[in-house]
Amino acid sequence: MLNSVVLVGRLTDNPQIVNTESGNPVTSVSLAVQRTWKNIDGVYDTDFIKCVLWNNMASNTVEYCKKGDIIGIKGRIQISDYETEDGAKRTKTEVIADKITFLTTKASKEKKET
């Protein structure tokens, strides 16, 4: 069996760190991943994929990345069931990161700022 996914996309928001009750840092980011083909209107569709990063990956992402930066994530898909406050059953799909690569270079960040 194999559960592996590789994504490259842009952060849709500035990452924020949260510490669990046991003190482990975690961040949840949304990654905008453009599809490789155009739709019927001639436009590239984009998927927004929720990714969860733990420990050093979370801390480093919060420290070095911001909205719009391009990152690569290698991880696994996790599907969880939960119940809302009103009793409705829901399912959420997330990518749990095993490895992250920061692809926006310092030079490209400096160009954007000038």
- CATH (residue range 5-113): 2.40.50.140
> Could you write out the three-class secondary structure of the chain?
CCCCEEEEEEECCCCCCEECCCCCEEEEEEEEEEEEEECCCCCEEEEEEEEEEEHHHHHHHHHHCCCCCEEEEEEEEEEEEEECCCCCEEEEEEEEEEEEEECCCHHHHHHHHC
User: Each residue's pLDDT tens digit in the chain (114 positions)?
Assistant: 999 999 999 999 999 999 999 999 999 999 999 999 999 999 999 999 999 999 999 999 999 999 999 999 999 999 999 999 999 999 999 999 999 999 986 656 665 554
CA atoms of 82 and 105, how far apart (whole Å) = 39
